[in-house]
Chains A and B, each alone.
Chain A
Amino acid sequence: MALFYIYILLLFMVIAAIIAVETKDLLSAVICVGAIGFGGSLMFLFLRAPDIAITQIVVEVLGLIILIRATIARDLTFITGDREFFGTVVSVVILLVIVVAGIRVFNTMPEFGVPVFARIPETASQVYISRGLADTGATNVVTSVYLDYRAYDTLGEATVLFTAVIGATAILRSKSRKRLEESEA
């Protein structure tokens, strides 16, 4: 039954993605991408990843606000025409080559519903599940991985986020600091 829901949600996400790509109105495209994000959040619930689902909803709301801020109240939210013909043809041919290469990879993939760690004993995932509670005291194994076993990963994530925010503020600032001081003086 869970597989049925997963198929329905995946089809919903693919349809929303096609609409988001092909619609001429930018605001509709942004809202369709939001639909993909919330569908993905439901998918995570069905895939037994509640932590990811919660994070995805929060990030999705913030991302939608940022995207709508960029597209709303702009004069030219309607798009006219595609790129020149030759470039489009070359891109589509390259994309088809990637599709063919990707389909070959599917033969080597494990069956859906059989995680990779189930085939190999004593992988990191198995160790985290069996020893996570004793080592870190967290009943949620994802928490024990996220905040204890791989805490440096989380530190790096915070650094990347901080850098991105600094970059965004530096780009969005309309006046340089020097000019601000001059206008005050």
Chain B
Amino acid sequence: MPYALCFLLFMIGLYCAVVKKNMVKIVLGIMIMEYAVNLFLIMLGYLSGGVAPIINRADYDGQTQAIAAQFLNASVDPLPQALVLTSIVISLGSLALMISICIRTYAKYGTFDITEIRRLRG
């Protein structure tokens, strides 16, 4: 059921991005969706009772360069973690871009309301 709560979080973000008419609210909705997706990907790799994918000295055999089977079976999935790391940093960049568009729009039209901006176009 954690997946379902994560999906609920995503749907709240989508609702915010689609229905609200304030530009900053739309940006916040996109942010909420990003959190939900990142969380979902990490959850997919979670192993109940697992350990973080950091190898201890005891789990490594220097001669044969082999990892202990006990660690192999207990570690959570490292691949989604590495991909989500990329995604989090990119979300910061996209947030900066979206907010700068909001600030410029406010400076030009004096409002965050997208319906007002549409009305002022003609």
Contact = CB atoms under 8 A, between A and B. Distances in A.
Contacts of B95: 63, 66-67
Q: Which interface class (under 10, 10 to 19, 20 to 34, 35 or more) fits A?
A: 35 or more
Contacts, number: 264
Interface in B3-18: 3-9, 11-16, 18
Interface residue SS majority, chain B: helix
Contacts of B122: none
B42 to A, nearest CB: 5
B46 to A, nearest CB: 5
Nearest to A80: B113
Interface string A95-107: 1001100110010
A70 B102 contact: yes
A182 interface: no
Q: Which interface class (under 10, 10 to 19, 20 to 34, 35 or more) fits B?
A: 35 or more
Interface residue SS majority, chain A: helix
Interface in B50-95: 50-56, 60, 65-67, 71-72, 75-79, 81-86, 88-95
A157 B53 CA distance: 22
